[in-house]
Structure 1
């Protein structure tokens, strides 16, 4: 298995080898408590103060406070608490403080959340005001000028974590000086350290938090700079450590590691130059343009860190891009790591006014200044392989047709899904319940296959079939006399190769479509293997289909993929006990059942990208009978698995999709359906032996 390429440096970084060595030395030989007065404690104290002096030099600070803490969130909390406590004291003394707490619209969520929290707890009742940004993601200085007379505290960032956009710190500082503002100014410097020169002593910045793990130090160590003479209130009190600025025994291993990173910055020769980083970004951008037609970069390069690219691709969701990159062993993200689990468009890009599709489908590719030429070369190669996999799967423009496809295909799952019935022999298909969000995807898929669309059907009368017919330029759909559901005139059955579709109406506003092998020109319930049911309740199909017919709904979040009358009538839900197998469990199953089938439910483009990048399956799955059945094709394969049941183990990248597939089979009566717990991501690598 080829090594991964980590391009998510803005989320966190690997640890510098020198930092690891320094942390180990601190734990082995300098483990004393810096507050102790004996020799071992004094050695720890010397290390602590040496690291502090180096930090002050690197930041260009002669005076002011510099304390070590757990990271940027704690630093932000401390800074906000300090400023707001000072504002309250001034307010209680009858002084004017301003009515606004102003923060940049693209700030990390730690900033507005901290402002709201302490504003409420301290009873200040100030108004939080979001400072807008322009289309380049930079603060609107005209808007800031208007807000400054009423601003009590201003919070901006040096560089944005999602886009890499650099703030106009000098411009903001000039406005503060021109206005004679007494507002306290917090600048989040997390993404700045090591990427451009900081000279805090020459600036008007009052508070500057830093986080070590963004620049090759471990997690759990950071620092906060407070300008000389600026109010300070400790967030944590107790034993008086850090000169009573931040109580709690110091994290000496973390301090030593951070000191090693700062030493590398100070001495030079370790991290790449600004020009080298710019050149790396240009190479990556060129590969993205070649691999992904229509790619749009969401931040102008001239105003952004050279280590960050934020991009969107027409017609591709951020999940699809994340999945194909991850399958190829390239680690990127869909935005801030703190928000990655939340399925929402990027608020940073929304604040910049980019179109909704770009905000909802953006990918962040970021690297640190330690990256080397070989890594960038491998990354460019894999990016272009990802593009090839997407073209081969028909998701981006391709120069050749897709290979023929057969059977039932589902697009989407849960709340809304569309269905395609495909016949390779006749090179034709039928589309059922085309959801608006899948119109372009279906059209691209059909064009890539070169299939003739026999009908575009809806289970309710509506605009979906008409919209897709227009997207496909289907003259026959408009001229063939189809009714409001899209059903062609002149026949009870619609032939599709060796199978046939029959429509069953339920009143004037609902229909179901039955798929099976016709018998004597008829399609009796016993011959129906799939029923496309739209929003119908399963019980409405009683007598129309057999008990084990697979019911494929258009809207059913509770039954992903499909269900059956038998499954719905079961008195007890399918047992989930033993559903999840760890690596050792999979190996044990394969020893008991050599005929077991291992089903890779990743999408076709993920599978191809993994093969091209030589990202083989983990040892837990090697030696088994592995087949690729993308999740969207699952409903078309279920009937065969139920007819001839063998143990099935589903797997994917994280285990989320495979667990849904295994549970669906259990609900349908397949007792030996399992999934690889945690997916490929958590399976032991080849270097780790499996448990006996």
Structure 2
């Protein structure tokens, strides 16, 4: 059994570990300075002294001068307090009367943390100000548009900007920004989010006209739950939390003294008042360059999403061409490297609004990875991170997802065979590799997957027999011709890519064309209806048995393909469904060219059980005229809108699934002890699986190969199967698909490896 490797944490912009010295200071405060700072006895006075020492350390580092420095629970509270204070003052400033001006506005940077615009909108509405809330645009390097500020600043009640961006590390030129703001409006209130600036940029707040500046301790080695808010001397202030009058009446509530004690340790290090030191600016720059070099060595090519010239050296935001952010995050997590896809305050991995605002291509936004570290990191940690990154990417080479590099490669690769499913925005592409001959076919190729498909074919040294579309697609363009040209595939084909030199065989009384793949055959079945050129491609084994069929959009999981396109025929679809059912039967795995709901695959038995219209057709209870009428009503529910994905099936009637059983650490171990037939399916991709630990009763069945598993392992339907992945998300999706398909004892591990921990991960 392999031992778990050490964790490499490169997500400091989300949060940092608490420094050991800071944790000790917090523990000492809890054990010895547990008094209430508001109490007048000696224990309380000692606690208050520690609190004020922390405040003085903060004043020294921030250059707060005569300004107030209030302790808060963190940045979000500080932002709320600042915005509330400024807007109440603006509302009550009857002499200026700007709130009554229809041009009145609240400005914020377009790349600002979501806490800022959401708070602006909230308090703008609650206080009845109803000013316009406007985003200040940024350029491709993330710099705020000073001309926009000049144009709108005169009517701004409050301007909110960011010192350092949390996703890209881009910092603003605060002196230039101040000149632009004060030239446009000397009276406007100005808040600067300084959360990511602490310890990274020099700040002399009292020397500026910044009215409010929030900070958060957990971004720089202090515990969560402690923050600070700077308020310029003379700036208006309204307490966000009222009560016992702590913090001079500015912020009520018993002070979080242990967290303040920890924060003081960090501030003393920043001020040079401690024996320990953080790495200096030049060292941090060198660390980032080392990481960039490692990423380039590992992946061959990376694209930086920001300039190194105007970003703090502890942040690196990049993209790997051909890979989504989730794929890289999953890979790094399997290698015990922690990174982020952007802001940790968003639970969904989608495109980055920060990079979108900067005008970067959408693929960079959707592929963005944020790698960030703190100034307490050392040479050995950076070197270990670089080595681990290169090793993690090596697993992609073994899986043929990255180009092979003799300098980094041991020459080995994981042989590929069977059925693979690739997806892009609901569309599916299929690759099938016949195991013996290593010959392959690609069905319904997608432009976004071209480089991946080319890499797999070349790396695996497959003999590509054909690239075929099941029909002319309406929602995307096929890149079949590009693949054929780049792979040097010769031979005459029709417009869908079906080879002209095929033989004709008989399949259940019907004559069909067949393409040989080793000892198997791919046969073409005409199935018009969804489009007039729709075909079905069925794979036969050496005995002529149908293994599975690529059905295009004639049948989709949960639906029948729509037939109201100009090139459609509902009557032809009726006949095609009956012919396909005759040739394929109830149980053959049907592989569609779209999968909108993560069902992956289906068959006629499953679909008929959930779709009364299809059941009536296949059972002979409905004639063609009735089908045409009812199908028209189903298709009428589709409403194609400009700019939205064209749906290729109507989902007016869908079956429901039962709740999928969930296992935890203890219950999974109990199952494996009690049931020798139970299997754990690790559904992560092979490169993730290779980097992690497992034992004999855990087999790798990634989502891309789930259909192949179902096709080749029919006996697994009756076995207890427990699915597991990194976080529990993919395993739940796959479990629901298998349950829908008729697997009788399916479950998944809630929380995945993230919650199981090393003990159970090594046992399951």
Select 2:133's aligned residue among 114, 124, 128: 128
Change (3 A) 1:687 1:68: farther
Give me the whole-angstrom Cα distance separating, in 2, the residues matched to 1:430 and 1:687: 40
Corresponding position of 2:581: 542
Look up the match of 1:660: 733
Give yes or no for contact 2:222–2:266 (8 Å, CA) kept in 1: yes
Does 1:227 pair with 2:222? no
Please point out which of 251, 255, 268 is paired with 2:256. 251
Tell me, in whole angstroms, the C-alpha distance in 2 between the residues paired with 1:224 and 1:688. 43
1:61 maps to what in 2? 64
Give the Cα separation in 1 of the matches to 2:30 and 2:707. Answer: 56
Structure 1 residues 484 and 140: CA distance shift in structure 2, 3 A:
same
The Cα of 1:149 is off from its aligned counterpart by 2.7
Shift of 1:445: 2.0
**Does 2:685 match 1:603?**
yes
Contact kept, 8 Å, 1:652 with 1:658, in 2: the verdict is yes
Residues of 2 paired with 1:576 and 1:127: CA distance?
46
Structure 2: distance between partners of 1:237 and 1:336: 31
C-alpha contact (below 8 Å) 2:325/2:368 kept by paired residues: yes
Cα deviation 1:388-444 (Å, max 9, x = unaligned): 222222222224695542111111278221111111432321111223332332232
Gaps of 5+ in 2: 406-410, 504-512, 561-576, 611-654
Cα drift, residue 157 of structure 1: 0.9
Maintained 8 Å contact 1:434/1:465: no
Q: What does residue 471 of structure 1 align with?
A: 483
Q: 1:677 to 1:91 in 2, by over 3 A?
A: same
**Equivalent position of 1:316 in the other structure:** 323
Indicate yes or no: 2:688 matched with 1:586: no
**Distance across 2 between alignment mates of 1:314 and 1:646:** 40
Kindly state the Cα deviation for residue 489 of structure 1 after the two structures are TM-superposed.
5.7
Aligned partners of 1:298 and 1:684: how far apart in 2? 33
List per-residue Cα deviations over 1:279-298 (Å, max 9, x = no partner).
Answer: 11111111111112221111
The CA deviation string for residues 571-595 of structure 1, in whole angstroms up to 9 with x for no partner, is 8966545x32222223222223335
Superposed CA RMSD? 2.7
Equivalent residue, structure 1, for 2:706: 634
Match of 1:17 in 2: 20
How far apart in 2 are the matches of 1:666 and 1:590? 20
TM-score normalized with structure 1 length? 0.91
For residues 476 and 394 of structure 1, do their structure 2 counterparts lie closer, same or farther at Cα, with a shift above 3 Å needed? closer
Take 2:96 and 2:494, find their aligned partners in 1: how far apart are those partners? 79
How many pairs are equivalent?
Answer: 672
CA contact (8 A) 1:349 1:359 kept: yes
Q: How far apart are the structure 1 equivalents of 2:657 and 2:537?
A: 27
1:189-588 pair list within 5 angstroms: 189-266=194-271, 267-268=273-274, 269-339=276-346, 341-399=347-405, 403-412=414-423, 415-462=426-473, 467-473=479-485, 480-484=492-496, 486=498, 488=500, 490-491=502-503, 492-507=513-528, 508-517=532-541, 519=543, 523=544, 527-537=545-555, 540=577, 541-558=580-597, 560-569=599-608, 575-576=658-659, 579-588=661-670
Instruction: Indicate which of 81, 86, 89 corresponds to 1:83.
Output: 86
**Residue pair 2:78, 2:214 contacting (<8 A) in 1 also:** yes
Listed one character per residue, the Cα deviations across residues 517-545 of structure 1 (whole Å, up to 9, x for unaligned) are 254xxx5xxx2221222222378353332
User: Structure 1 residues 143, 466: CA separation in 2 closer, same or farther (over 3 Å shift)?
Assistant: closer
Once the two structures are superposed, the pairs formed by residues 133-152 of structure 1 within 5 Å of their partners are: 133-152=138-157
Q: Partners in 2 of 1:295 and 1:688 — Cα distance?
A: 32
Q: Residue by residue, what CA displacement relative to the aligned partner does 1:486-531 show, whole Å, maximum 9, x if unpaired?
A: 4646441222222222222232243222222254xxx5xxx22212
Q: Distance in 1 between matches of 2:369 and 2:209?
A: 34
Task: Determine whether 1:671 maps to 2:754.
Answer: no
Give the deviation of 1:188 after TM superposition.
0.5
Cα distance between partner residues in 2 of 1:375 and 1:14? 14
- 1:167-200 deviation per Cα after TM superposition (whole angstroms, max 9, x unaligned): 1001112334445621111111000111232211
Measure how far apart 1:569 and its partner are: 4.7
* Structure 1 residues 402 and 465, CA gap change in structure 2 (3 angstroms): farther
1:569 and 1:427 mapped to 2: Cα distance?
36
Unmatched segments (≥5 aa) in structure 1: none
Q: Secondary structure at the match of 1:398?
A: coil
- Answer whether contact 2:326 2:349 (CA < 8 A) is retained: no
> 1:335-364 deviations in whole A, cap 9, x for unaligned?
01112x234321111222222211121110
- 1:253 Cα deviation after fit: 2.4
SS at match of 1:431: strand
Name the SS for the 2:680 alignment partner: strand
Is 1:4 equivalent to 2:22 in the alignment?
no
- Please give the alpha-carbon distance, in whole angstroms, between the structure 2 residues aligned to 1:486 and 1:461: 13
**TM-score of the two chains, using structure 2 as the length reference:** 0.83
In the alignment, what sits opposite 2:30?
27
Where does residue 693 of structure 2 map in the other structure?
616
SS class of match (2:157): strand
Tell me if structure 1 keeps the 8 A contact 2:681–2:699: yes
Contact 2:244–2:253, Cα closer than 8 Å, also in 1: yes
The partner residue of 1:650 within 695, 720, 723 is 723
Distance (Å, rounded) in 1 between the aligned partners of 2:198 and 2:118: 23
* Match 1:36 to one of 14, 28, 39: 39
Deviation by residue 1:113-172 (Cα, 9 ceiling, x = unmatched): 111211222222222222222222122233333333333221111111011011100111
